[in-house]
């Protein structure tokens, strides 16, 4: 039995220290933590000057999340604590190359924690591990490209290759990467969106005709109420707190819906305001609803039923004209709601009628409502239903496509939305294929490719033989860690295009390669001069990004250069024109992807430009009926036995996706460790468990038992029979083949587990 990828470490377990949770985010601690992070990463000299360019017009885009920058004036400090952590990761002066890898086998390195691996520094030269070899050795770039090209061309079928993309990849690199894969003959283009907002894309496209949010930053101050569902902005999108604070100061009401009461939705001390640094809190959410895990459909139906009752009672509540003219399916939807029992609603969401009604009164008084969400809605078996019930609620009063109203799925990675717009998708729309064939004169593959979960399956079953990753750490991000690790081991070749070492580099195919690339904050010099790239944020704004730091090594290549190198060695095509001048890539994007007219000209605008959005721009719904769709979904039923719990995996405040910046989760009061399980104190009593007790967690699915060992019990404000753990440590409990209907997103937010005393 192979050793677990995330075995318990004695020293980490002993170090765990618990303190009271915080009831506010930001403040002096955020400033202090940012400075400490730069120092810890030896990034003071490179990080501080770079930070003054981060998210600035004509600067570079933060490599963290996808929260937008203001269209107007930017603050001198236009970043948050976690933006600095993301920058420090890449602006560190530490680097590792051939000498370091000559001293360490992959097995030895895999004994290090993810945090220790990320502290090693930037990858400084291309590396290769041959079959049977235990260590990486340095390799020449051209030799590396030749080897990959030879392997790809030796495949009996292009679908034996998989091309994964993480959300940091720029538009230009993503466009060329998908073109490369399709020219090779495959649509195997899984991306990190498959594991996060795929459910948002599917749920929204079906009902309102666009898989993206429909609001701008300005709408937040025009709203009357903002509902934050299944999202922890204080950690995952911290600058959103400034937007929420401005909204609250305009009298906007905020309702947070989350099993956990997160500091970031309770109150905020703005670290760029003297009062904030001195601890003056702005209360954000006026109502917090501690919903049971996966209770969102029930809560949304409750509000919908109450709206119907009010309409029946006094009229003038629903926007009947909007419903009449702009939607279909209302009658069936209404009939369905009449048959939904309150008992079902209350048992599913775990809230009292009073709690639901109190929030409903705020909604009822609110003409304009914005609903924001993240993984808490998208990583469930019924995730698409979660999203579509949000749409149902807003359609009832025409709260879509008007100022101050709409949907706002908040993307977790800086360009994950842009990559999808560039064609990084396993089932490409016909117009994309037609555009590519017309512009590049080739026959593109039509058969759908693999998304993430099916890529894991194809590698595990030996159907896929080559895995190439443009950034990211799919091993740690994926569900079912041990299954995923075995899938990678069964590949002939794994290639990782990365800035820093992570666990995904240590679990490899027979042959493995690491191709070190420039980071977002580094200068990208090509034959025609310094190049800029472009990205798209959560609100559909495309803007430029141009790093200013000297590359940490002269052995690095840009993502665009690497794809052009692969095209030469694999397709025997000369893409040097694209490599020399990225505006030529944008000229092609303009011809293939709708909405990018005058791309290079408009990219010169300091604030960038908005992509077309039918709902936002003209309340038009480009669906199969050209109307918005009301949909009908069942309330999920969880018949948990006494000893069973619903588990959700979450991030700490010292984490960005799978990158571990540190071992603390300051807002939740957890310090020095990550192997914890947050439990309701009454559930602890029932299981006769105390704080710090060690337990194993076990999940059973499809006759397979999955276990993670030695987690420490932490009492926390969480609904009964619900527990929370951190990923990637608990990902091993999430079955790879248990995923959301339609979107195939792993169900990391609702896994049935048992807790066994150690």
- Chain residues in the site for ligand SF4 (CB under 6 A): 55, 62, 64-65, 67, 79-80, 82-83, 86, 237-239
How far out from the chain centre does Cα 461 lie? 27
Q: How far is the CB of 316 from ligand SF4 (least distance, A)?
A: 40
Do residues 80 and 239 lie in contact, with contact meaning Cβ atoms separated by under 8 Å? yes
Distance between CA atoms of 348 and 301, rounded to whole angstroms? 11
Q: Is the dihedral of CA 157, 160, 161, 162 positive or negative?
A: positive
264 three-state secondary structure = helix
Do residues 696 and 711 lie in contact, with contact meaning Cβ atoms separated by under 8 Å? yes
Number of H helices, E strands in the chain: 33, 33
**60 vs 621, beta carbon nearer ligand SF4:** 60
CA 249-54-536 angle, 5° bins: 80
CA 656-84-275 angle, 5° bins: 110
Do residues 294 and 382 lie in contact, with contact meaning Cβ atoms separated by under 8 Å? yes
Q: How far is the CB of 224 from ligand SF4 (least distance, A)?
A: 24
Q: How far is the CB of 78 from ligand SF4 (least distance, A)?
A: 7
**167 vs 715, beta carbon nearer ligand SF4:** 167
Q: How far is the CB of 688 from ligand SF4 (least distance, A)?
A: 41
Cα distances (Å, whole numbers) of residue 473 to 196, 493, 502, 508 = 14, 16, 7, 12
Phi (first) and psi of residue 575, to 5 degrees: -105, 20
**129 vs 168, beta carbon nearer ligand SF4:** 168
Q: Which of 744, 624, 749, 627 is nearest to 202 (CA)?
A: 744
Q: How far is the CB of 64 from ligand SF4 (least distance, A)?
A: 3
Q: How far is the CB of 627 from ligand SF4 (least distance, A)?
A: 35
Distance between CA atoms of 409 and 233, rounded to whole angstroms? 12
Q: How far is the CB of 291 from ligand SF4 (least distance, A)?
A: 25
Q: How far is the CB of 539 from ligand SF4 (least distance, A)?
A: 12
Q: How far is the CB of 238 from ligand SF4 (least distance, A)?
A: 5
Q: Which of 255, 360, 272 is nearest to 317 (CA)?
A: 360
Distance between CA atoms of 378 and 195, rounded to whole angstroms? 9
Examine residue 728 and say whether the peptide bond preceding it is cis (omega within 30 degrees of 0). Answer: yes
Q: Which of 335, 389, 332, 394 is nearest to 363 (CA)?
A: 394
Q: How far is the CB of 262 from ligand SF4 (least distance, A)?
A: 15
549 three-state secondary structure = strand
**67 vs 736, beta carbon nearer ligand SF4:** 67
Q: How far is the CB of 725 from ligand SF4 (least distance, A)?
A: 23
**65 vs 127, beta carbon nearer ligand SF4:** 65
**70 vs 614, beta carbon nearer ligand SF4:** 70
Q: How far is the CB of 62 from ligand SF4 (least distance, A)?
A: 3
Phi (first) and psi of residue 288, to 5 degrees: -115, 130
Which residue reads 């490209």 in tokens?
145
Phi-psi region at 277: left, alpha or beta (left = phi > 0; alpha = psi -120 to 50) = alpha
**64 vs 445, beta carbon nearer ligand SF4:** 64
For residue 468, give the DSSP letter: E
**5 vs 200, beta carbon nearer ligand SF4:** 200
Q: Which of 509, 439, 445, 442 is nearest to 474 (CA)?
A: 509
Q: How far is the CB of 241 from ligand SF4 (least distance, A)?
A: 9
Distance between CA atoms of 540 and 136, rounded to whole angstroms? 40
Q: How far is the CB of 267 from ligand SF4 (least distance, A)?
A: 18
Do residues 546 and 518 lie in contact, with contact meaning Cβ atoms separated by under 8 Å? no
Q: How far is the CB of 120 from ligand SF4 (least distance, A)?
A: 22
Distance between CA atoms of 73 and 70, rounded to whole angstroms? 7
**83 vs 167, beta carbon nearer ligand SF4:** 83
Distance between CA atoms of 681 and 603, rounded to whole angstroms? 54
**657 vs 731, beta carbon nearer ligand SF4:** 657
Distance between CA atoms of 741 and 113, rounded to whole angstroms? 34
**83 vs 565, beta carbon nearer ligand SF4:** 83
Distance between CA atoms of 86 and 349, rounded to whole angstroms? 35
614 three-state secondary structure = helix
**254 vs 567, beta carbon nearer ligand SF4:** 254
Structure tokens at 594: 């709708």
């Amino acid at each position: 039995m192979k050793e677990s990828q995330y075995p318990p470490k004695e020293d980490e377990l002993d170090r765990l220290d618990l303190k009271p949770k915080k009831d506010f985010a930001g403040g002096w601690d955020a400033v202090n933590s940012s400075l400490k992070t730069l120092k810890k990463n030896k990034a003071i000299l490179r990080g501080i000057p770079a930070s003054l360019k981060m998210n600035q017009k004509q600067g570079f885009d933060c490599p963290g999340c996808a929260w937008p920058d203001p269209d107007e004036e930017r603050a001198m400090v236009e970043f948050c604590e976690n933006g600095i952590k993301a920058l420090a990761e890449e602006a560190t002066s530490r680097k590792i190359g051939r000498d370091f890898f000559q001293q360490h086998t992959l097995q030895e390195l895999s004994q290090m924690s993810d945090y220790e691996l990320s502290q090693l520094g930037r990858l400084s030269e291309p590396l290769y591990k041959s079959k049977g070899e235990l260590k990486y050795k340095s390799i020449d770039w051209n030799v590396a490209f030749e080897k990959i090209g030879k392997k790809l061309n030796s495949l009996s079928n292009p679908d034996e290759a998989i091309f994964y993309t993480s959300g940091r990849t720029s538009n230009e690199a993503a466009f060329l990467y998908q073109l490369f894969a399709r020219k090779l003959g495959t649509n195997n283009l899984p991306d990190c969106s498959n594991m996060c907002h795929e459910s948002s894309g599917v749920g929204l496209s079906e009902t309102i005709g666009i898989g993206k949010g429909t609001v701008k930053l300005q709408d937040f101050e025009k709203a009357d109420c903002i509902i934050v569902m299944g999202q922890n902005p204080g950690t995952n999108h911290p600058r959103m707190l400034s937007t929420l604070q401005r909204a609250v100061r305009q009298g906007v009401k905020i309702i947070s819906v989350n099993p956990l009461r997160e500091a970031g939705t309770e109150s905020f001390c703005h670290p760029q305001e003297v009062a904030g640094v001195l601890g003056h809190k702005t209360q954000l959410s006026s109502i917090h609803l501690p919903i049971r895990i996966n209770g969102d459909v029930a809560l949304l139906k409750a509000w919908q039923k109450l709206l119907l009752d009010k309409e029946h009672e006094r009229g003038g509540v629903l926007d009947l004209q909007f419903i009449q003219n702009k939607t279909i399916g209302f009658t069936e939807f209404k009939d369905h709601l009449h048959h939904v029992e309150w008992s079902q609603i209350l048992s599913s969401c775990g809230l009292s009628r009073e709690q639901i009604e109190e929030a409903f009164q705020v909604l009822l008084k609110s003409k304009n409502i914005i609903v924001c969400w993240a993984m808490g809605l998208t990583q469930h078996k019924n995730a698409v239903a979660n999203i579509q019930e949000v749409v149902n609620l807003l359609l009832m009063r025409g709260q879509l496509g008007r100022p101050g109203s709409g949907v706002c799925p908040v993307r977790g990675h800086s360009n994950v939305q842009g990559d999808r717009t560039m064609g990084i998708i396993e089932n490409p729309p016909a117009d994309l294929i037609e555009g590519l064939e017309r512009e590049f004169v080739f026959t593109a593959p039509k058969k759908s490719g693999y998304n993430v979960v099916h890529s894991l399956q194809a590698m595990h079953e030996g159907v896929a033989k080559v895995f190439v990753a443009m950034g990211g750490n799919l091993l740690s991000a994926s569900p079912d860690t041990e299954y995923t690790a075995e899938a990678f081991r069964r590949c002939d070749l794994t290639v990782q295009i990365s800035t820093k070492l992570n666990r995904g580099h240590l679990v490899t195919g027979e042959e493995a390669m690491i191709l070190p690339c420039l980071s977002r904050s580094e200068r990208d010099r090509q034959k025609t001069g310094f190049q800029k790239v472009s990205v798209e944020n959560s609100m559909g704004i495309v803007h430029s990004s141009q790093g200013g730091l000297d590359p940490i090594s002269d052995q690095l290549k840009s993502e665009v250069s690497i794809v052009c190198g692969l095209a030469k060695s694999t397709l025997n095509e000369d893409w040097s024109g694209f490599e020399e001048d990225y505006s030529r890539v944008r000229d092609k994007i303009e011809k293939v992807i709708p909405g990018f007219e005058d791309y290079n000209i408009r990219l010169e605008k300091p604030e960038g430009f908005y992509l077309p959005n039918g709902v936002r721009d003209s309340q038009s719904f480009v669906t199969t009926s050209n109307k918005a769709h009301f949909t009908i979904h069942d309330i999920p039923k969880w018949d948990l036995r006494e000893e069973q719990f619903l588990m959700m995996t979450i991030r700490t405040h010292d984490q960005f996706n799978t990158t571990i910046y540190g071992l603390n989760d300051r807002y939740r009061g957890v310090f020095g460790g990550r192997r914890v399980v947050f439990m309701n104190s009454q559930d602890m009593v029932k299981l006769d468990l105390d704080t710090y007790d060690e337990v194993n967690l076990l999940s059973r699915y499809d006759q397979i038992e999955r276990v993670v060992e030695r987690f420490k019990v932490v009492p926390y404000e969480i609904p009964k029979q619900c527990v929370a753990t951190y990923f990637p440590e608990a990902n091993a409990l999430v079955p790879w083949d248990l995923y959301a209907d339609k979107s195939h997103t792993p169900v990391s937010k609702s896994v049935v587990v048992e807790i066994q005393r150690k």
